[in-house]
Amino acid sequence: MVAVIGDVHGCYHTLKELVAKIKNKYPNIKIFCVGDLVDRGNNSFEVVEFVVAEKIQCVIGNHDFMFYSNMRDPFSLMAKSWNYNGAETTLASYKDKLNQIDKHLDLIINSPLFFNLDDCFISHAGISKSLKDKLPENFLSDDAALKEILSNDLFNQNSIIWARGDLLNIGKLQVVGHTHRKEVYFDKVSNAIYIDTTAFGNNKLSAAIIEQNNLVEIIDQKTNADDVNRNWIYQL
């Protein structure tokens, strides 16, 4: 059994409250996150510090990757995209903590693209149906080969950190974020559960409790007002 938290987007207080709820009910559960730790909410720095302290295992999200790209290669296309996607709140949260930014960037770029677990397959945006012809038969049996294929496709709009179209039914439950929703949503055709419930937009942060490719329950936490940046309140 695992807990998988949706896109956090700088909502530190909300994340802290949600993790307390999860641990209260499932004291020994392993906690994962679908990425997008930074941007839009007010407290990106604190979010990264918290996931390290709590040993929450995170995949890399597109916002995390844009943050890293801007700091390491500021003239890249990915870096430029960051300026229109919540960069200002992340930079504000690091304003007096620039001496710790390298440590956080190393953490982000070393985060995996996916976790292929017995209980489910976790990634930021999911394996797109459009990638079907690029994947070998039984691709879930070789994580190293799958990582190589997916890494070569990161800048594509259908990549595992950017996909928004139909996901591939991989024969295992996919748990993804990335696509903003009001409530957690299960797509039966692709066997995928979408858990980004737009925490940064003053909605809520959600966690899916998963066991053996089945959803056990959803645990929600209303977004804490201290995490909300009024420039990013989102109408769903």
Q: Under 8 Å CB-to-CB from 236, ≥6 apart: which residues?
A: 180, 181, 182, 198, 201, 203
Report, as an integer, the average pLDDT of 223-234.
92
Q: What are the tens digits of pLDDT across the range 87-129?
A: 999 999 999 898 899 999 999 999 999 999 999 999 999 999 9
> Taking 90 as the threshold, does the pLDDT of residue 80 lie above it?
no
| Angstrom distance (rounded) from CA 108 to CA 106 | 5
At the topology level of CATH, where does 2-227 sit?
Answer: Purple Acid Phosphatase; chain A, domain 2 (3.60.21)
pLDDT at 151: 94
Structural contact between residues 118 and 214, judged by C-beta atoms closer than 8 angstroms: no
Give me the amino acid identity at 27: P
pLDDT at 75: 85
Give residue limits of the domains in the chain. Answer: 2-227
Q: What are the tens digits of pLDDT across the range 16-51?
A: 999 999 999 999 999 999 999 999 999 999 999 999
DSSP 52-109: HHTT-EE---HHHHHHHHHHH-TTSHHHHHHTTTTHHHHHHHTTT-GGGHHHHHHHHH
| Angstrom distance (rounded) from CA 82 to CA 63 | 7
Q: What band does 234 get if pLDDT is binned at 50, 70 and 90?
A: confident
Which among 207, 206, 202 is positioned nearest to 235, based on CA atoms? Answer: 202
> Taking 80 as the threshold, does the pLDDT of residue 236 lie above it?
no
Q: What are the tens digits of pLDDT across the range 132-172?
A: 999 998 999 999 999 999 998 788 899 999 999 999 999 99
DSSP 169-227: --SS-EEE--S--SS-EEETTTTEEE----GGGTSEEEEEEEETTEEEEEEEEEPPGGG
Report, as an integer, the average pLDDT of 175-183.
97
* Total-model pTM: 0.96
Report, as an integer, the average pLDDT of 162-186.
97
> Taking 80 as the threshold, does the pLDDT of residue 235 lie above it?
no
Hey, what are 17's tokens? 């409250």
The CB density around residue 141, as the number of other CB atoms within 10 Å, is 10
Tokens 């930079």 belong to residue: 91
pLDDT at 220: 98
pLDDT at 77: 79
| Angstrom distance (rounded) from CA 232 to CA 202 | 9
| Angstrom distance (rounded) from CA 144 to CA 221 | 35
Structural contact between residues 23 and 5, judged by C-beta atoms closer than 8 angstroms: no
pLDDT at 158: 94
CA 105 to chain centroid, in Å, comes to: 16
Tokens 């941007």 belong to residue: 39
- Compute the Cα dihedral for 128, 133, 135, 139 and give only its sign: positive
Q: What are the tens digits of pLDDT across the range 49-72?
A: 999 999 999 999 999 999 999 999
